[in-house]
């Protein structure tokens, strides 16, 4: 059996590394906070209110029934998205969103679109197995 002290040291080192990593991420988030994103922020809450993620993905994470919406704003445009939201589709219910809610969802999708590209074709694969965006 490894010595009691050895086990404790390994545990403490791992815990310290985990907590330091967590603290670093909380205090140095990848992107800086911007107070000017009110519409996008309420759009995110509406996205959650109607559980859009059950069918749609953002950066490949979410449901599989509908398409990934990361870059739908620049690819299809505002009017196209608005039409889908208002009428629904064969699989997607009509959610009866108010004008304010539709505006917020559009702002949210625009914000996601500006954050980066999700199309896997745009990634460069390196020999060591890593990727470059």
Partner 1 sequence: MEQLNNKISTSKLFIIAGLLLMAMGMLFGLTGAFQYIVTGFIKEYLSFEKIRPLHVSSVVFWIILGAMGGVLIYLQQYTGKKIFSPLLLKIQFGIFIISIAAILISYCAGIFGGREYWEFHPLLALPIAAGWILFIINFVKSIGSFKNQPVYVWMWLTGIFFFLFTFLESYLWLFPYFRNNVINDMTIQWKSYGSMVGAWNMLIYGSSLFLMEKISGNKKYAHAPIAFLLYFTGLFNLMFNWGHHIYTLPTYPFVKHISYAVSMTELFILGRIILLWRSTVSTARKNKNNTAYRFLMAADIWIFLTLLLAIAMSIPAINVYTHGTHITVAHTMGATIGINSFLLLAIAYDILHDTCIPINQNIKWLNRGYLTANISLLLFWVSLIIAGILKAKWQMNDAKIPFSTMMNQLKPFFILFFISGITMATGFFLILYSLMSNQIKCYFKILFQNRRQKQSQIPRLFALE
* Residues of this chain that bind partner 1 (CB under 8 A): 1-2, 4, 7, 10-11, 14, 17-18, 21-22, 25-26, 29-31, 33-34, 37, 41, 44-45, 48-55, 57-68, 90-93, 111-112, 115-116, 118-121, 123, 125-126, 129-131, 133
DSSP structure class, residue 77: -
Which parts of the chain are beta strand (E)?
A: 57-58, 61-62, 124-125, 131-132
Beta carbon nearer to partner 1, 3 or 79:
3
Distance CA 94, CA 84 (A): 9
What minimum distance in Å lies between the beta carbon of 86 and partner 1? 16
Q: What is the four-CA torsion angle of 93, 96, 97, 99, rounded to 10 degrees? A: 140
Structure tokens that stand for 77 in this block: 């445009």
Of the pair 61, 78, the CB lying nearest partner 1 is at: 61
Least separation in angstroms between CB 92 and partner 1:
8
Q: Which is nearer to partner 1, 99 or 126 (CB)?
A: 126
Least Å from the CB of residue 45 to partner 1: 8
Which one, 33 or 98, has the nearer CB to partner 1? 33
Closest CA to 54 of 90, 91, 104: 91
The least distance separating partner 1 from the CB of residue 98, rounded to whole angstroms, comes to: 16
**Residue whose entry in the numeric block shows the structure tokens 């020999």:** 127
Tokens at 43, concatenated: 């759009």
């Amino acid at each position: 059996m490894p010595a009691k002290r050895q086990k404790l040291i390994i545990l403490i080192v791992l815990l310290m590394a985990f907590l330091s990593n967590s603290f670093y991420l909380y205090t140095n988030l990848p992107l800086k906070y911007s107070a000017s994103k009110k519409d996008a922020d309420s759009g995110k809450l509406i996205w959650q209110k109607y559980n859009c993620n059950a069918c749609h993905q953002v950066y490949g994470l979410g449901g599989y029934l509908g398409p990934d919406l990361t870059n739908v704003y620049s690819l299809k445009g505002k009017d196209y998205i608005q039409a889908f939201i208002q009428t629904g589709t064969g699989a997607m219910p009509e959610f009866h969103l108010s004008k304010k809610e539709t505006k917020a969802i559009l702002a949210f999708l625009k914000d996601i679109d500006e954050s980066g590209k999700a199309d896997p074709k745009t990634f460069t694969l390196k020999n060591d197995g890593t990727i470059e965006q």
